């Protein structure tokens, strides 16, 4: 089954006109798939879906949550986190304050990855960590800081690679116990972040597509990983502008392993390893 181009346009038009959401510059292929999933999960025809979008605001909120992709992991791509730990965060070591924005934080695993790392580097106290997402449900999960353990066995491997080991010095091994940061409850199959981590970040609803920097703060570090892949080129440019404006001159942007800045906005940043520094 497919979403036809005509239905797709009607969907975008209805959403834009009857809600505060605008998906018209989302990447088409994955959005069509997500729409199809909504149609299947709710046993709706496209006509019925569009009518619901126009008349049922509660449904729209629910649908937007279902459409956005929320995959995330603790220390996803350990090599990126090793870079953050050993080459990026040390740049801000002498700052009196370090401001960090997780844009599109989803269920918060990366926020906790950062908090754990800041704590290991003795920088947690002076960090101000902001986490935003378009989807308030996933942010509720992020605030809770509780994750399924069994499905995320890689979490502990990743933790070991980033926190215990040092790729730049194989002889170094920091035997940091997991319970310094989270409790492992094997009976209930959960990892729960400790309160001192959970209380740290400021969570706020934010839509990268339609809003400016509503945090009214400038940042040393912006993490926006595997978010812009769902946007088309025009929208990506707009988001890079927003990030550029929101960074301090020495600040940097970190994206997903296979995300890059293409075209005009590329001139505003300089790529060093996994990070884009403001030019």
- Where do contacts with another protein occur on this chain (CB under 8 A)? 2, 27-30, 33-34, 69, 71, 77, 79, 154, 157, 226, 228-230, 233, 236, 256-260, 262
* Choice between 61 and 259, CB closer to another protein: 259
Is residue 6 left, alpha or beta, with left meaning phi > 0 and alpha meaning psi from -120 to 50?
alpha
**Min dist. Cβ of residue 82 to another protein (A):** 13
Which residue, 120 or 133, has its beta carbon nearer to another protein? Answer: 133
Residue among 72 and 132 whose Cβ is closer to another protein: 72
Closer to another protein by Cβ: residue 54 or 161: 161
Beta strand extents in 71-216 (DSSP E only): 98-103, 127-133, 146-148, 182-185, 190-193, 202-205
Q: Which is nearer to another protein, 99 or 226 (CB)?
A: 226
Residues 130, 218: Cα–Cα separation, whole Å: 11
Residues 146, 194: Cα–Cα separation, whole Å? 9
Q: What does the DSSP 8-state code read for residue 131?
A: E
The CB-of-25 to another protein minimum distance in angstroms stands at 13
For residue 151, the minimal CB distance to another protein (Å) is 11
Q: Report in angstroms how near the CB of residue 34 gets to another protein at its nearest.
A: 8
Residue among 157 and 185 whose Cβ is closer to another protein: 157
CA distance 224 to 209: 13
Q: How far apart are CA 160 and CA 230, in angstroms?
A: 31
Closest contact distance (angstroms) between CB of 22 and another protein is 19
189's CB contacts (< 8 A; 6+ apart) are 148, 149, 150
Find how far residue 131's CA is from the centre of its chain. 8
- In sequence order, what DSSP letters do the residues of 216-275 get, joined into one string? ---EEEEEE-SSGGGB-HHHHHHHHHHHHHHEEEEEEEEE-TT----SGGGGGEEEETTE
SS3 category, 16: helix
Q: How far is the CB of 71 from another protein (least distance, A)?
A: 4
């Amino acid at each position: 089954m497919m979403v036809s181009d005509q239905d797709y346009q009607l969907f975008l038009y209805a959403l834009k006109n009857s809600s505060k959401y605008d998906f018209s510059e989302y990447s088409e292929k994955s959005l069509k798939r997500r729409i199809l999933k909504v149609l299947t999960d709710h046993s709706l025809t496209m006509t019925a879906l569009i009518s619901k979008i126009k008349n049922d605001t509660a449904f729209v909120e629910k649908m937007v949550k279902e459409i956005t992709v929320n995959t995330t992991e603790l220390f996803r791509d350990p090599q990126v986190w090793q870079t953050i730990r050993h080459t990026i965060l040390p740049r801000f070591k002498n700052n009196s304050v370090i401001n960090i924005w997780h844009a599109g934080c989803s269920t918060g695993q990366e926020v906790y990855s950062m908090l754990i790392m800041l704590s290991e580097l003795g920088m947690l106290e002076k960090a101000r960590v902001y986490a935003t997402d378009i989807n308030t449900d996933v942010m509720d999960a992020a605030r809770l800081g509780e994750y399924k353990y069994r499905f995320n066995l890689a979490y502990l491997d990743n933790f070991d690679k980033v926190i215990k080991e040092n790729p730049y010095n194989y002889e170094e091994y920091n035997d940091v116990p997991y319970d310094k940061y989270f409790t492992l409850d094997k009976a209930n199959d959960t990892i729960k972040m400790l309160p001192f981590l959970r209380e740290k970040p400021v969570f706020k609803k934010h839509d990268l597509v339609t809003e400016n920097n509503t945090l009214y703060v400038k940042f040393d570090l912006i993490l926006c990983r595997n978010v812009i892949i769902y946007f088309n080129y025009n929208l990506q440019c707009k988001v890079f502008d927003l990030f550029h404006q929101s960074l301090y001159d020495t600040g940097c942007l970190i994206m997903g392993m296979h995300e890059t800045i293409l075209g005009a906005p590329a001139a505003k940043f300089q790529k060093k390893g996994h990070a884009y520094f403001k030019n």
